[in-house]
Chain A
C-alpha cells in the first residue's frame, strides 16, 4: 500500500481531558479525527458541510462544528465531546432533561443538540423560549423533536441555575 508522505505528522488532541496522538494529515477535519482516528463515534456526521449541527462539539467551552474545523486548528485546545459530558457515569443536567422530555427519537442529532444546548445555556441564551428556539436553530432534527428540545433546554437551564447540574 502506498503511504502518503504527509501522513507521518502526528497531531496531539486533548479530547475530554485525555491526550490523543493521532497520525493524520493536515486536511483531516476534527470530525473525522474524532470518528475515524480517535474512534469516538458519539459525535455524528450528518452533512459534513456545516449545515446540520450534528457534529457540534466544544472547543475551549465554545460550540463549534467539528466538520468545519480542521483537527490541526485545535491542537492543544480543550475538546469536549458528548462522551465527555457525563462525569463518573452521572449524566449532565441537559442529558437528563433530554431523556425526561423525550427530546429525541432516532437519536442521531442528539449529541449535537445536547452539546449545543449546554453551550446555549452557558451563553445565557435561554431567557425565553423564543431565544432558545433561535439559538438552537443550528441543529436540525428531522424527527421533529423541537418542542421537546425547547422544554428540555428550559428545564436544564433552570436546574443549572439552581446548582443542580454541573454546567461550566
Chain B
C-alpha cells in the first residue's frame, strides 16, 4: 500500500498533488506520439554510418568502388572530403558531451568510431552499401579497458591530486578501533533507452537548420549545431516533443546528429540517420567501468570516525570524463574525517556519458555495501549502524538540511518490509533449497536548480497553452505542468495544453540531474500567476468588465470562471469575459533567473544552453532527496541463481506533484538498479577493444519476469528550500541504493560477499 503524505497537504491545489493520469497518455497508447524519426519530409534520403573495426591507429586507404555500385547510393562521405567542423566547447572536460568530431581526420580512437557515411535513396540501399566500404587500417596498440595490463591510472587533469575531504583521514584511520577496507568494481553499463539514437536534419534555402532528434536538452543541442557549423543560434531549430527514454545518453547531441546535419547540407536534401542498436552500444551512452576502494574506520560502538574513498574510472582518449562515486559518502553519515580521490584511466573508447544517477548510483552501491560489511563486523543491525551515524546536518558544508526525512524512510521501509522478522545471521533463512536474503541500503541525490523560461497563453475560448523547450523523457513533464498551470489559473486540467521539446518555444535547461520537474513547475507557476494577474487587472479596470470590484485581489478564479470574492456578481466564464473585454489572448512570458540577471540576454543564454547556472537549489541549506530500500532475494543453493522476490523503497522527495507518476519513476529506478546488481555488464574482446555484447539479447537488462511486486512509500513533506513548489528530485533517486540493497541481501542469503557487479551465478558458485 503506497502512502503519499503530500496528498493530505493544505498546499495542494485542485490538481497538483493528485494522482492524475498522464496528459500524453492517449497519444502514447495509440501510437500517435511523434518521436524523432517519425516525420515525413519530401525528398528525404537515408544515411548509414560505417564504423572502424580497429580501436586505434590511422585510416589508410578507403575503397568506395564496390559500395558505389550499389543502386540508389548518392554519396559517401569520408574524412577526405567531409565538411570541416568547429569544436563545441559548451561542456567542459567531456562531461556528457564528447569533444570528438567525426570525419575530421584519419585518426582512430576507438572501435566503432564513425569513419564514413553512406547516403542513399533508401535505408536498405544505404545499409548494403555501408557493408561494401573497404578500409585499410594502420592499426596501433590500444588500451582495451580498465583491466588492460597497459592501462595507467592518471590524475584528473586540472584537479588536485590529493582529492577532497575534511578532517584528518589518515590520523583517524590509524586511531580507529575497527577498520573495514574493500574494493568494489562495476563494469561498463549502458543507458539503453528503448528508442535508439537517430536524427532527421533539413537545411532551408535561407541556411536555417531544422533537426528532429530525441533530446533531453533541445537548447543544448541547438547550441551544439550552432558551434559545429558556425551558424547563429537563431538559425537552428531542434524539435523533440517525445523522447523514447534518455537516462543520460540523450543529454547532448552526438555524432549521429552531427553527421545527419552534415550530410543534409552536402546533399541539399533532408537526411534521416537511424543508428542501429549495435551502433548505440559502440558509439554512445556508456557509464565507464569503475573501481572504488573504500576504507571505513569506526569506534567499537559503531560511530564512524573516517571514510577514505578512492575512485578510478575509465575515460576516453580525448576527454576527461569523471564518474565520481564519492558524492554519496560525503553527505550520508556524520563522519568527521573523510578523504575522497579520483583517478582516470584512458581507454580506447568513445567518451562516456551520464547514465541515470551518474556517480550516485555506483557510489551508493560501494558505500552502502561497505556499511553492511561494517555492520556484520560490529554485530549491529544495518539500520542501527546507520542510525548511530545519522547526520543531523550536512557533514560536508555544515549547513542545515532543508529536509531530511531519512529516519522516517528507514522506519517506514522497515515496517512495510517486516525487517524486525529478519534473522541477522547469513544463511539463516531458507525455503527448501532456496536461501533467503534480506538486505537494505540508503541513498541520496542532490537537489540541483537551473533557471528556466515559460510562456502561458490564455486563448479567447478560455483554453490555456503552456510552452517550454524543456523535455518530457517519460517523467511526466507534460502532466505536471498542466496541473501547475490549472492550479495557478483556476482552470480545469483538461483545459490546459502543454507543448514541449522545441527550441522555437521558451528556453529551458537540461532534463537531467532530476531537475526539470522542479524548475519548470516553478517557471510555469510564476508565469501563470502573472497571466492570472493580467486577467484580473482587466476584470477590475477594463470598461467592458461586468464587475464592479476595483482591485485584482478582489476576485477568485475557479473552474475556469471569474467571480468577485464577495459574491456581488455572477461568475463569468473566462471565454465570455475575454469577449467582454475584447481580448483574443493574454500571453505572458517569464523566467526564473536571479532578479539582477533576468533581463540580460547573454546571461539567460548561458543559463539555458550551458551548465553555468546549474547549482545547488539553496544557498543556506543542503538539499537532497533521500531513500531507504529493502530487498528480499532467493538464491538457489545449488545453482547460484539469484531472484529478487520483493522490493520496498521509502523515499523523501519532498512534495510530490503527481504521486502516480512519481511512483512510476521510483519503481523504474529500482528496476534499473536491479539490472546493475544482477544483470548488466559490457564485455570487451581485449584483442580488438571491441564490445562483444552490443545488443539487447546479450547486454542483459531486466525483463518483466525478473521483476517482482515493488512497494514504494513517500515520507516527504514540502521543501521550499529545494524548489518553488516544494518538490525535491525524483527521477534518479530510485536507482540509488537499489544495487547495494540487493548485494547485501545476496550476502545475507549466502554468506558470500560479491564485490564485483553484476552478481552473476558463477560468482556465487
Interface residues in chain A, defined as those with a beta carbon under 8 Å from any beta carbon in chain B: 1-5, 7, 25, 27-28, 32, 35-36, 39-49, 51-52, 54, 81-83, 85-86, 91, 95, 98-100, 102, 104-111, 114, 132-134, 136-137, 139-150
Instruction: State in angstroms the CA–CA spacing of A142 and B663 once bound together.
Output: 16
In the complex, besides A49-B277, A137-B705, 7 extra interface pairs with C-beta distance below 8 angstroms are: A40-B31, A44-B194, A46-B196, A106-B243, A140-B703, A142-B701, A145-B668
Least CB separation from A28: chain B residue: B124
Partner of A32, one of B124, B473, B664: B124
Q: What's the minimum C-beta distance from A112 to chain B, rounded to whole angstroms?
A: 9
Which of A82, A108, A133 has most chain B Cβ within 10 Å?
A108
Contact with A along B603-627 (1 / 0, CB 8 A): 0000000000000000000000000
Instruction: State in angstroms the CA–CA spacing of A28 and B125 once bound together.
Output: 10
> Which residues from chain B contact A48 at a C-beta distance below 8 Å?
276-277
- Asked if B671 and A146 sit within 8 Å, CB to CB, the answer is yes
Partner of A133, one of B30, B672, B705: B705
Instruction: State in angstroms the CA–CA spacing of A61 and B710 once bound together.
Output: 33
> Which residues from chain A contact B703 at a C-beta distance below 8 Å?
137, 140, 146
- Contact status of A85 and B194, CB under 8 A, knowing A1-B74, A32-B123: no
- 26 A-B contacts (beta carbon < 8 Å): A36-B123, A39-B40, A44-B244, A47-B196, A47-B696, A48-B277, A51-B277, A81-B31, A83-B30, A91-B29, A95-B29, A98-B29, A99-B26, A104-B28, A106-B194, A107-B28, A107-B474, A133-B704, A140-B194, A141-B194, A141-B704, A142-B672, A143-B664, A145-B667, A146-B703, A148-B667
- Asked if A41 and B38 sit within 8 Å, CB to CB, the answer is yes
- Asked if A144 and B245 sit within 8 Å, CB to CB, the answer is no
- Asked if A147 and B667 sit within 8 Å, CB to CB, the answer is yes
Q: What's the minimum C-beta distance from A28 to chain B, rounded to whole angstroms?
A: 6
Q: What's the minimum C-beta distance from B691 to chain A, rounded to whole angstroms?
A: 15
Which of A47, A54, A111, A149 has most chain B Cβ within 10 Å?
A47
- Contact status of A102 and B664, CB under 8 A, knowing A110-B28, A144-B669: yes
Interface residues in chain B, defined as those with a beta carbon under 8 Å from any beta carbon in chain A: 21-22, 24-35, 37-38, 40, 71-74, 121-125, 191-196, 242-247, 274, 276-277, 473-476, 660-661, 663-665, 667-672, 695-697, 701-705, 707, 709-710
- Contact status of A106 and B31, CB under 8 A, knowing A1-B121, A144-B702: no
Instruction: State in angstroms the CA–CA spacing of A98 and B25 once bound together.
Output: 8
Least CB separation from A92: chain B residue: B29
Instruction: State in angstroms the CA–CA spacing of A111 and B709 once bound together.
Output: 23
Q: What's the minimum C-beta distance from B12 to chain A, rounded to whole angstroms?
A: 19
Partner of A140, one of B72, B123, B701: B701
- Asked if B21 and A99 sit within 8 Å, CB to CB, the answer is yes
The total of Cβ contacts below 8 Å across the A-B interface reads 182
- Asked if A146 and B707 sit within 8 Å, CB to CB, the answer is yes
> Which residues from chain B contact A105 at a C-beta distance below 8 Å?
245, 474-476, 664-665, 668
- Asked if B124 and A25 sit within 8 Å, CB to CB, the answer is yes
- Contact status of A51 and B29, CB under 8 A, knowing A46-B196, A100-B21, A144-B702: no
**6 closest Cβ contacts across the A-B interface?**
A42-B31, A108-B244, A144-B668, A105-B474, A144-B671, A106-B474
- Asked if B33 and A4 sit within 8 Å, CB to CB, the answer is no
Instruction: State in angstroms the CA–CA spacing of A149 and B664 once bound together.
Output: 11
> Which residues from chain A contact B29 at a C-beta distance below 8 Å?
82, 91, 95, 98-99, 104, 110, 114
- Asked if A102 and B21 sit within 8 Å, CB to CB, the answer is yes
> Which residues from chain A contact B244 at a C-beta distance below 8 Å?
44, 106-108
Instruction: State in angstroms the CA–CA spacing of A83 and B30 once bound together.
Output: 6
Instruction: State in angstroms the CA–CA spacing of A51 and B280 once bound together.
Output: 14
Q: What's the minimum C-beta distance from B316 to chain A, rounded to whole angstroms?
A: 24
- Contact status of A4 and B192, CB under 8 A, knowing A85-B30, A102-B660: no
- Asked if B704 and A139 sit within 8 Å, CB to CB, the answer is yes
Partner of A47, one of B664, B695, B704: B695
- Asked if B22 and A137 sit within 8 Å, CB to CB, the answer is no
- Asked if A2 and B31 sit within 8 Å, CB to CB, the answer is no
Instruction: State in angstroms the CA–CA spacing of A41 and B124 once bound together.
Output: 18
Instruction: State in angstroms the CA–CA spacing of A28 and B668 once bound together.
Output: 35
Partner of A102, one of B22, B33, B122, B710: B22
> Which residues from chain B contact A28 at a C-beta distance below 8 Å?
124
Instruction: State in angstroms the CA–CA spacing of A35 and B44 once bound together.
Output: 14
Q: What's the minimum C-beta distance from B583 to chain A, rounded to whole angstroms?
A: 33
- Asked if A142 and B30 sit within 8 Å, CB to CB, the answer is no
- Asked if B30 and A95 sit within 8 Å, CB to CB, the answer is yes
- Asked if B709 and A147 sit within 8 Å, CB to CB, the answer is yes
- Asked if A137 and B704 sit within 8 Å, CB to CB, the answer is yes
> Which residues from chain B contact A82 at a C-beta distance below 8 Å?
29-31
Q: What's the minimum C-beta distance from A86 to chain B, rounded to whole angstroms?
A: 6
- Asked if A45 and B702 sit within 8 Å, CB to CB, the answer is no
Instruction: State in angstroms the CA–CA spacing of A114 and B28 once bound together.
Output: 10
Instruction: State in angstroms the CA–CA spacing of A49 and B695 once bound together.
Output: 8
Instruction: State in angstroms the CA–CA spacing of A143 and B731 once bound together.
Output: 11
- Asked if B670 and A144 sit within 8 Å, CB to CB, the answer is yes
> Which residues from chain A contact B30 at a C-beta distance below 8 Å?
42, 82-83, 85-86, 91, 95
> Which residues from chain A contact B21 at a C-beta distance below 8 Å?
99-100, 102
> Which residues from chain A contact B194 at a C-beta distance below 8 Å?
44, 46, 52, 54, 106, 108-109, 140-143
Q: What's the minimum C-beta distance from A160 to chain B, rounded to whole angstroms?
A: 16
Least CB separation from A43: chain B residue: B31
Instruction: State in angstroms the CA–CA spacing of A35 and B30 once bound together.
Output: 15
Which of A39, A110, A111 has most chain B Cβ within 10 Å?
A110
Instruction: State in angstroms the CA–CA spacing of A101 and B761 once bound together.
Output: 34
Instruction: State in angstroms the CA–CA spacing of A27 and B667 once bound together.
Output: 41
> Which residues from chain B contact A98 at a C-beta distance below 8 Å?
25, 29
> Which residues from chain B contact A139 at a C-beta distance below 8 Å?
704
Q: What's the minimum C-beta distance from A40 to chain B, rounded to whole angstroms?
A: 8
- Asked if B71 and A108 sit within 8 Å, CB to CB, the answer is no
Q: What's the minimum C-beta distance from B282 to chain A, rounded to whole angstroms?
A: 14
Q: What's the minimum C-beta distance from B416 to chain A, rounded to whole angstroms?
A: 15
